[in-house]
Amino acid sequence: PSQIIRLLENKTEKLREILPALIAKQSIKDRQEAQVYEGLAGFKTMNYALLEGGCQGDEFLFFAANAPNLYDYPDAVEFYSDLEKEVSRRGLRHRGIAPKDMEWRFERRDKKKIYFVDFPTIYNTAICGNRIGIVSWGERIVSFLIESAQLAQNYTDYFESIWKTQKTGKGR
């Protein structure tokens, strides 16, 4: 019996030592944060931070938007091609949904992973892990990075509902 008490005391002490680290990991997983980025440099920084939310094998999902002034920013258009390469380099799988009238803008991209739809999509939004990136193309570029497992799951569910409809042919 005394051995059992000593064994339990040792286990309790070890648990007390690792408990703060376990609590910290739990709070990171449940973290809810938002950040705002401005300008082209901020847009690029936000996208790289978005990718940090994913692990190899995760998906990078995106909704493209037919923003009329996107082509006022040729560096941003070129960056999207570079971003797709970075997504692949990191071992992330990617799929996207875009308006049909944008299909010509994806000439140099893998269109097998993009569904083009006849209805409006949410505005220029991407999901990777527990992070969501949203970009507003206006007089200036404003980008938002949201870290929220719950919100990321909501956006993913919406993406998947459209993807499934398109895949089964009901939306085509």
Q: Where are the beta strands (DSSP E) in the chain?
A: 33-38, 59-63, 93-99, 114-117, 125-128, 131-137, 141-147
pLDDT score of 162 more than 70: yes
Confidence at residue 35, expressed as pLDDT on a 0 to 100 scale: 97
Q: Are 88 and 94 in contact (CB under 8 A)?
A: yes
Lowest mean pLDDT of 9-13, 124-128, 165-169, name the range: 165-169
Q: In what order do the strands lie in the sheet with 33-38?
A: 33-38, 141-147, 131-137, 125-128, 59-63, 93-99, 114-117
> What are the two backbone dihedrals, phi and then psi, of residue 139, each rounded to the nearest 5 degrees?
-55, -30
pLDDT score of 133 more than 90: yes
Q: Are 94 and 87 in contact (CB under 8 A)?
A: yes
Lowest mean pLDDT of 19-28, 53-62, 121-130, 141-150, name the range: 19-28
pLDDT score of 110 more than 70: no
pLDDT band at 150; cut points 50, 70, 90: very high
Confidence at residue 53, expressed as pLDDT on a 0 to 100 scale: 81
142's tokens: 């404003």
Decide: pTM greater than 0.85.
no
DSSP-assigned beta bridge partners for residue 125: 63, 134
Q: Are 146 and 49 in contact (CB under 8 A)?
A: no
Tell me what the mean pLDDT of segment 138-153 comes to.
Answer: 92
pLDDT score of 138 more than 90: no
**CA–CA distance, 133 with 135 (Å, rounded to integer):** 7
Confidence at residue 95, expressed as pLDDT on a 0 to 100 scale: 93
pLDDT score of 170 more than 90: no
Q: What percent of the chain has pLDDT over 90?
A: 36
Q: What is the pLDDT of residues 40-97, one digit of tens each?
A: 999 999 999 999 888 888 899 999 876 667 667 778 778 888 888 899 889 999 899 9
